[in-house]
Amino acid sequence: MKLLMPLLLTILLAGCTANDSEKQVPESEPAEESVTASLGLLDNGEMAVPESIDDTSWYEPGYKPGEPGNAVIAGHVSDTVDPGVFSELHTLNQGDEIIIHGMEGEVLTFTVFDKELYDADEAPLDKIFGYSHRSLLNLITCEGVYDYDVGGTPNRWVIYTELNSES
């Protein structure tokens, strides 16, 4: 079983090749999105998120991509003005592929099998972050109008993917 420390993230639409239809999020940026940080929990118990809207981060206290369990990568949808790295995450559908490139050249391919929009306070944390006998990768981002009083958005998109057997 291959495990990796994620470095780059590429999103491919179903039925397309890496050369002709990489999902570019945002459109002006390259399709490979750098996983620049390994983040954990904040003091209040919430998952830490990337500082920049252009970066993604892997939830390090959780599972590594490729091992049994739910590995999680987070990214911002926007900063209320400019689109973030996951601004189009909600457009992914069943069959789309997520390719993770490791720090030592490893490559793992995951296929989208589900997506859900949750109320931020009602998201099923065990389903998103917990153990599974399958090797899963979940991508997560915010959704909705930013509430300055609360310091966040009311919803979370979660894209559920599973490791391809040929990876």
Reported as a single tens digit per residue, the pLDDT across 131-140 is: 999 999 999 9
pLDDT band at 99 (very low <50, low <70, confident <90, very high): confident
Average pLDDT, the chain: 81
| Tokens, residue 3 | 């495990």
Residue 55 phi, psi dihedral angles, 5° rounding:
-110, 160
The number of folded domains in the chain is: 1
The answer to whether position 144 is within a domain reads yes
What pLDDT is attached to residue 149? Answer: 87
The answer to whether position 119 is within a domain reads yes
CA angle 70, 73, 75 (to 5 degrees): 150
The answer to whether position 143 is within a domain reads yes
Residue 126 phi, psi dihedral angles, 5° rounding:
-65, -40
CA distance from start to end of the chain: 9
What pLDDT is attached to residue 6? Answer: 60
What pLDDT is attached to residue 4? Answer: 55
Of 119, 115, 118, nearest to 160 by C-alpha is: 115
CATH of the domain at 78: 2.40.260.10
Q: DSSP string spanning 75-100?
A: E-SBSSSSB-TTTTGGG--TT-EEEE
Do 160 and 113 contact (CB within 8 A), yes or no?
A: yes
The whole-number average pLDDT for the span 122-147 is 94
Share of the chain above pLDDT 90, in %: 35
What range defines the domain where residue 85 resides?
Answer: 6-163
C-alpha span between 109 and 160 (Å, rounded) = 13
The answer to whether position 1 is within a domain reads no
The whole-number average pLDDT for the span 27-49 is 68
What pLDDT is attached to residue 73? Answer: 92
The whole-number average pLDDT for the span 70-91 is 89
167, pLDDT greater than 80: no
The answer to whether position 56 is within a domain reads yes
The answer to whether position 18 is within a domain reads yes
3, pLDDT greater than 70: no
pLDDT band at 110 (very low <50, low <70, confident <90, very high): very high
The answer to whether position 107 is within a domain reads yes
C-alpha span between 141 and 90 (Å, rounded) = 9
